[in-house]
Amino acid sequence: MSSIAISLLDIEDDASECLVAEDYQTREGKWCAGCGDFGALNAVKRLLAKEQLKPEKMAFVSGIGCSSRFPHYVNAYGFHGIHGRALPIATGLKLARPELDVFVVMGDGDCTSIGAGHWIHATRYNPNLTVLLLDNNIYGLTKNQTSPTTPQGYKSNTSPRGSVLPALNPLQATLGVSNASFVAQTADWVPAHMYATLQAAYQHTGFSFIRILQRCPKFTPDVFQDQIKNPDLTELLVHEDGVDAPGLERLFKARRVHDPKDIDEARSLAQRTDMLRLGIFFRDDSFPVYDEIRSVRPVSPEEKVQGLEREFDRYAV
């Protein structure tokens, strides 16, 4: 088994270590009953416990929306910012403090609509961030408006006769960006897979983009119902460099061996609509990582003063 492939058995070991999953939660999430965000929070807590991350050495940055309340519930530093703009803040933080583990949590409106410009460019900068797109196909906090990922024809308060455009496909879009280094998809109703995907994303050095399909019991209760009821509509992408978890093979009959290094196949699979696909679509550790390539040697205040004298010599009269 490769070091990245995850076994559910690993989770059992967590109990013996200093911090357990519950230590990473500060308060109960204030989401609606049945919201997929709870599952995402649980998976993240398990990851933090598994990695035994120090709460003061990590930061969760979010935008605005239901899912962006996430940092308030995690025992870590958090930045609950403005709509669509989590990525610039996270990038700046990572550049200033590369030793911190920085996670980004965004919703579909947040990331793929108002923050779409930042999403494209952060993907290209490829800073070492773990990025969760909690995609429930709808604007929830503002109460039921069409988002870019809302299925065509789906009715909302802003599209009472149904969304008029085909939904934007975040995987396809991310995979189209130069220097995209990690793109995966998972779903809140498959916790073992979500946990395994999160762990792979965390371990990847670079911009690890995970689209988490997330149920909204209020406004889009039925968008994922077919897949939830019938596991045969889902295909797992598996590979020795992918993610897997024991038990998943019993649940999902359809399994496709996909090498995450194969960008052409990744793009082809991302745009197909015949089945729902979960797994790592693409991963390449060799791409330039922004906070690494921009890192510079620290300079002491005294050295700076000496250097400034030389700069001023250029302008001396």
Partner 1 sequence: MNRTANSQTTVTAVPEHTVEIITNSGEGAQKCATIFGQTCAKMGNGVWTVEIIPAEIEPPHHTVTSTSGNIVRFGTEKVTNWGDRSKLAVAFNDQVCLSRHRLDSFDDDCIILHEAMWEKHEDENIRNNYAKAMEEMSSKNYRFIKVPIEEETLKVVDNAQHGKNMFALGLLAEIYQRDLSIIEKQIANIFRHKSAKVTEVNIELVKNGIAWARENLDFQFQIKSVPAKESRVVMNGNQAAALGAVAAGMEMCAMYPITPATSVSHELAAIIENYGGMVHQAEDEIAACGVALGASYGGKVALTVTSGPGMALKTEFLALAIMTEIPLVVLNVQRGGPSTGLPTKVEQSDLLSSLYSQPGDAPRVVIAPRSIEECFHAMVTARRIAETFRCVVIILTDANLASGVQQFTRPKFDVRWQQEPIDFSALPEGLRPYDWDSETGLSRRIVPGTPGGQHTVTGLAHDEESHVSYDPESNERGCKMRSRKLAVFQSTLIPPSVYGDEEGDLLVVGWGSTQGAIEEAVDRARAEGMKISTCQLTFLSPMEPGLKEIFSRFKQVMTVEINYSDTVGDPYITEETRRYGQLAWLLRAQTLVDIDCWTSCPGQPLRPNDIYNSIIDKSERGASK
Chain positions contacting partner 1, by CB under 8 A: 26, 55-61, 71-72, 75-82, 85, 87-97, 99-100, 117-118, 120-121, 294, 296-299, 301-302, 304-305, 307-309, 311-312, 315-317
**Nearer to partner 1 among residue 99 and residue 222 (C-beta):** 99
| Residues 291, 74, 87: CA angle, nearest 5 degrees | 35
CA distances from 65 to 80, 114, 132, 136, 239 (A): 10, 12, 13, 11, 34
User: 94 or 258, CB closer to partner 1?
Assistant: 94
Q: Residue 146, Cα to own-chain centre: how many angstroms?
A: 21
- Cα–Cα distance, 90 to 242 (Å, whole number): 26
Give the count of beta carbons closer than 10 Å to the beta carbon of residue 100: 18
The smaller minimum CB distance to partner 1, of residues 165 and 299, is found at: 299
Place of tokens 């700069």: 311
Q: β-strands 145-146, 138-139: how paired? A: antiparallel
Quote the least distance from Cβ 303 to partner 1, whole Å.
8
Distance CA 197, CA 200 (A): 5
Q: Which is nearer to partner 1, 24 or 154 (by Cβ)?
A: 24
What's the closest the beta carbon of residue 101 comes to partner 1, in angstroms?
A: 10
Q: How far is the CB of 298 from partner 1 (least distance, A)?
A: 5
Q: CB of residue 234 vs partner 1: minimum separation in angstroms?
A: 34
Closer CB to partner 1, 22 or 311, in the complex: 311
Q: Residue holding tokens 């015949």?
A: 274
Least Å distance, CB 42 to partner 1, is 19
